[in-house]
Amino acid sequence: MKPKVMQICLSDGWGGLEMYPARIIPELARQGWEAHGLALEGSRVASSLVDAGIDPLTVGSRGQALWRVRRILAYLKAHGIEVLHCHKSSDLRLGALLVSLRPQLRLFFTDHMGVTRPKRDPFHRWSYGKVHRLFSISEATRRRNLNAFPLPAERIRRLYLGIDPAPYVDDLDAGEKSALRAELGIPEGAVAIGLPGRFSRGKGQALWIEALGRLAEMAPDQAWQGVLIGGLTVGE
């Protein structure tokens, strides 16, 4: 029998965090896992899970998920799911409650955002205490997490975010590339230097602009064009 995991992401935004649950489903399938999902009704996360080939369980809100915890437990039992994987810290309330009511469940949490302050109060000790493994997406976040979370070091692991590059392989012909460069206003012969990510302080656009300024000083004869790629809100 295949091991089964439920990806939990109760977010109505659309960024790298929200894209990740559906993005890892093909790799989970390759390794023999059967994936399930829990998402908000009508969310981009729910749609992405459908596109990835699964029919997610949906709820109207995070609060509704807590009120309907018995329904979720029934779903987990009916499908033989024993692993939960949360991607937002706000979803750990639900994950911890599910583990409290069904102790044989294992709870995993990927910290996509990076903690900014200690979380050692009674509530966080309870919720994070139910986490079997906490995955940090970089060595820097792992070090911060070791100091911030009420977990022993062996339960906090570094796990870089993975992505299958195949869908993003450059398949544009010369004419299409030229047309795209013209649409973006990139001069002929200039190197395009892009930065993808939503426009917000945490994405590093200011640091990128500073780096481009240094590039202009260090290589004044190099022709280049900066291209920012990203939305203005969490829904873009």
pLDDT at 199: 86
Give the tens place of pLDDT for each residue, 100-110: 999 999 999 99
Distance from C-alpha of 218 to C-alpha of 29, rounded to nearest angstrom: 47
For residue 135, give the amino acid letter. F
With vertex at residue 88, the alpha carbon angle to CA 104 and CA 25, rounded to the nearest 5 degrees, is 70
Distance from C-alpha of 29 to C-alpha of 7, rounded to nearest angstrom: 13
What is the DSSP-derived secondary structure letter of residue 222? -
For residue 60, give the amino acid letter. G
DSSP one-letter string for 47-65: HHHHHTT---EEES-HHHH
Give the tens place of pLDDT for each residue, 190-230: 999 999 888 887 788 999 999 999 999 999 999 999 999 88
pLDDT at 204: 87
Give the tens place of pLDDT for each residue, 20-74: 999 999 999 999 999 999 999 999 999 999 999 999 999 999 999 999 999 999 9
Distance from C-alpha of 137 to C-alpha of 161, rounded to nearest angstrom: 6
CA distances from 129 to 1, 85, 147, 160, 197 (A): 29, 15, 15, 23, 32
In the chain, which segments carry CATH 3.40.50.2000? 4-158
Distance from C-alpha of 93 to C-alpha of 86, rounded to nearest angstrom: 10
Q: Classify domain 4-158 by CATH number.
A: 3.40.50.2000
Look-up: residue for tokens 């940090």?
Answer: 136
Give the tens place of pLDDT for each residue, 141-181: 999 999 999 999 999 999 998 778 887 888 889 999 999 99
Strand locations in the chain (E): 4-9, 34-40, 57-59, 83-86, 106-111, 131-136, 156-158, 191-196, 224-229
With vertex at residue 55, the alpha carbon angle to CA 50 and CA 57, rounded to the nearest 5 degrees, is 115
